[in-house]
Amino acid sequence: MNTIRKAKLSDVASIHRLVNGFADKGELLHRSLNELYENLRDYYVVEDNEQIIACCALHINWEDLAEIKSLVVSEDAQGRGLGIKLLDACLNEAKDLGVPKVFALTYKPGFFEKNGFKRVDKADLPQKIWTECVRCPKFPDCGEEALILQMD
């Protein structure tokens, strides 16, 4: 049985392997162990038979903006709706926190579009661009698409 829950310290190594395995294939950005530990409270995981098979994070960027980060489902667990369940968990938390807008930067915009997100120009996300993106080795040409969801 799959359980979606907030991540624990003991999950960090599994999250790191899962995220960076997909990052090695160019499907998302790498996350360091340090970054995962510092942002652990942002993460949800899906656990199946004591294994972490999927994860996703909701990161608060500003008073009116949060980001969906590191949405990953292991290859053998894909097609079971786990990505949508993780996205829903993050969006429910955003709603509970009163976040009016949630965005994602992704190489797979179709998933987010199917779930109500609309494409926007990255320049519409200055808090993200001038805090985190400028430190990325792929900046300014990472190829990720920006999408945003109004939470009303």
Residue range 56-112, pLDDT digits in tens: 999 998 899 999 999 999 999 999 999 999 999 999 999 999 999 999 999 889 999
Look up the CATH number of the domain holding residue 134. Answer: 3.40.630.30
Burial 39-76 (b: 16+ CB within 10 A, else e): ebebbbbbbbeeebbbbbbbbebeeebbbbbbbbbbee
User: Which domain covers residue 111, as residue numbers?
Assistant: 2-150
How many distinct structural domains can be found in the chain? 1
| pTM of the shown model | 0.89
Residue range 101-147, pLDDT digits in tens: 999 999 889 999 999 999 998 877 765 554 554 455 555 566 688 99
Residue range 100-112, pLDDT digits in tens: 999 999 988 999 9
Strands 65-73 and 2-6: unpaired
Confidence of residue 29 (pLDDT cuts 50, 70, 90): confident
The Cα 30–Cα 22 span in angstroms is 8
